[in-house]
Structure 1
Amino acid sequence: MDHHEVLRLFDRQMRREVAPDHPGVRVERTGTVVRQSGGAGDWNGVVFSDLDESTADAEIAAQVRHFGALGVEFEWKTYRHDRPADLGERLTRAGFVADEPESLMIAEVAGQAEPVALPDGLRLVDATDEAGFALAAEVHEQAFGTDASRLHGQLLDRLAHDPDTFVMTLALAGDRPVSAARVEFAPGKDFAGLWGGGTVAEYRGRGLYRALVAHRAALAAARGVHYLQVDALPTSRPILERLGFTQLSVTTPYIWKP
């Protein structure tokens, strides 16, 4: 894998040419910025920018005005290789608050799709209805200790409008959901995104994370996707590296609230 070329491809397909994540939002390209705008329950933010020292502050102010007029919180999703080099500092001065950095991890699908055997009593199933997504939200709350009502609502919206753009997979211990993760597809793109990957505490260390990666890689392979992409927290990065993923950049969300 040519790391430089793959990163360029990622920037072009998944940032500059990004599609709306559901029909209720819009993607706009305003000069050197690509943003998604929606309502208070949607993900709002800047996904790509190509700025320099002379244009950055004015563009940051323009985006604050745009989302401020909508009355919504928004995220400026920066990457380590974005310009200018001090973009994060400029966002902080403009009132943004940095969230935890994540590693942009990429792997070729072909090397990840071999099935992983699970211990007896554990199995993977793909959720296809509202009941399954409710179980996934339940796992999310137990695994991460955060409210999953917004995630649940977004999943139901996508089920209604874009069911072919993602698959939610559950790990079950008997009939109890103990882990959940999803894969997201962008039509015509070479990348599939792996999201979630939460496991309740008492079932960690049993191979569920690796099995969910392999399962979703097989789903991506069936669609002809070439690469898997993960925004990995520090807890996930070592696991992904052992599986063969490579860090190509670091992404830091900067949050602005009205």
Structure 2
Amino acid sequence: MRADPIMCLYEKYERKAQFEELNVQRVADENIIKYIYKGSRPAFISYFEPVSLSINKLIESEVAYFTNINQPFEWKVYGTDLPTDIGKRLLATGFVEEETPSLLVCDIGNYQIDLTTPDEVECKKAISKQMFREYLEIQSTEFPLDIDEEVNQHWTKYENDKNCTIYVVYRQGKPVASARINFTPDSIFAGIWAGTTLKEYTGKGYYQILLNYRIDEAKQRGRQYIAIDALPTSRPIVEKHGFKFITSITTYIYRP
């Protein structure tokens, strides 16, 4: 089930990555790797492979762990994960199935990038607290966010974080689209996330601008691949630019 060479690399460099960030705690043992956020964000299971526990006992253990600390958590299941009925087992334990994106990967070695933008349009890195807030305000049109809480808890972390870059697209000075790119230390991948455009400005190429700027930075930083958890709305766009489907992803969430 895990024979795909790109998927094997992704598991090694991303799902099993050993790093911690401000406001994020990595907890791991021989069976599982999970990340726990401070604040209102749900924790998530990054990787699992039952060794000393059966899969049912592992699920029960994680439910008990997060119930004890009263924190919701997500269990990301990739199409290559075993057992193949893990989703049914999670649902039977009280998890709720949420979004089902796809993992797509692009080898950016020969990727040709055009960083030109239309007149009155600029793409900028978020380098101030106000730009960070503008990024979040755009994101909040798609995902529920407490913007003040996010700014208070995460701006200082982002300001000093060399492994994440946020981009905001402005049209005539108004923020209209935003996205981020993450760089796991010592990985050959970069991950692109949260590409969001205000509804009244969709279809004008702003997602493409954000994609180009992020790929350009990844190339400059020596990454070989770009990975994205692509929802159905963004998958056709990135597939036009060399991204290849690797596997499906299903997110299951448990709320104590």
TM-score by length of 2: 0.91
Does structure 2 conserve the Cα–Cα contact (< 8 Å) formed by 1:79 and 1:249? yes
CA distance in 1, matches of 2:54, 2:38: 28
Aligned to 2:125: 126
Identity rate, percent: 27
Aligned to 1:17: 17
Pair 1:244–1:123, CA change in 2 (3 A): same
The alpha-carbon deviation at position 153 of structure 1 amounts to 4.9
Q: Which residue, 187, 190, 212 being the options, matches 2:188?
A: 190
How many residues align? The count is 252
CA distance in 1, matches of 2:39, 2:168: 28
Partner SS, residue 94 of structure 2: coil
CA distance in 2, matches of 1:13, 1:43: 23
**1:6 paired to 2:11:** no
- 1:99-138 correspondence to structure 2 within 5 Å: 99-112=98-111, 114-138=113-137
Aligned to 1:62: 61
- 1:85-164 correspondence to structure 2 within 5 Å: 85-112=84-111, 114-142=113-141, 144=142, 146-147=144-145, 149=147, 151-153=150-152, 155-160=154-159, 162-164=160-162
Does structure 2 conserve the Cα–Cα contact (< 8 Å) formed by 1:40 and 1:72? no
CA distance in 2, matches of 1:145, 1:76: 18
Does structure 2 conserve the Cα–Cα contact (< 8 Å) formed by 1:139 and 1:199? yes
Letter of the structure 2 residue corresponding to residue 218 of structure 1: D
Aligned to 2:25: 26
Does structure 1 conserve the Cα–Cα contact (< 8 Å) formed by 2:179 and 2:210? yes
The alpha-carbon deviation at position 234 of structure 1 amounts to 0.5
What CA RMSD, in Å, does the superposition of the two structures yield over aligned residues? 2.0
CA distance in 1, matches of 2:7, 2:95: 26
CA distance in 1, matches of 2:231, 2:131: 26
The alpha-carbon deviation at position 110 of structure 1 amounts to 2.5
CA distance in 1, matches of 2:77, 2:166: 27
Higher mean displacement: 179-188 or 22-31: 22-31
CA distance in 2, matches of 1:154, 1:213: 27
CA distance in 1, matches of 2:90, 2:143: 28
Does structure 2 conserve the Cα–Cα contact (< 8 Å) formed by 1:76 and 1:253? yes
The alpha-carbon deviation at position 206 of structure 1 amounts to 1.6
The alpha-carbon deviation at position 138 of structure 1 amounts to 1.6
Does structure 2 conserve the Cα–Cα contact (< 8 Å) formed by 1:114 and 1:214? yes
**Runs of 5+ consecutive residues of structure 2 not aligned to the other structure:** none
